[in-house]
Amino acid sequence: ESSMSQKEWAEKHSFGTTQYNNWEKGTRRITVDEAERLCVLYGLTLDFIYRGNLSGISEKIKNSL
């Protein structure tokens, strides 16, 4: 999935391209509901999404980041 453009990734996950771009730039924060959806899909934690804390993330996922 790392080869996807922002637009492709956003569309795949039912997010708007502008919305995704705002998260990436730090203009806006992802909502808890949206972040939880990504946690379920990718085995992430809210602590990782909001704080970058890798504890609680599997080694497999850590290695792919």
Provide the 8-state DSSP code for 14. Answer: T
pLDDT tens digits, 3-53 = 888 899 999 999 999 999 999 899 999 999 999 999 999 999 999 999 999
In a domain, 60, yes or no: yes
- Domain carrying residue 56: 6-64
Query: Domain total for the chain?
Result: 1
CA distances from 51 to 8, 16, 44, 63 (A): 25, 23, 12, 18
The predicted structure's pLDDT at residue 4? 87
In a domain, 26, yes or no: yes
Give me the count of residues in the chain: 65
Averaged pLDDT for residues 47-61: 91
Provide the 8-state DSSP code for 30. Answer: P
- 2 against 23, higher pLDDT: 23
The predicted structure's pLDDT at residue 36? 96
CA gap 29, 22 in Å, rounded: 8
Q: How confident is the model at residue 62 (pLDDT cuts 50, 70, 90)?
A: confident
Pair of tokens at residue 4: 């996807």
Pair of tokens at residue 50: 């909001």
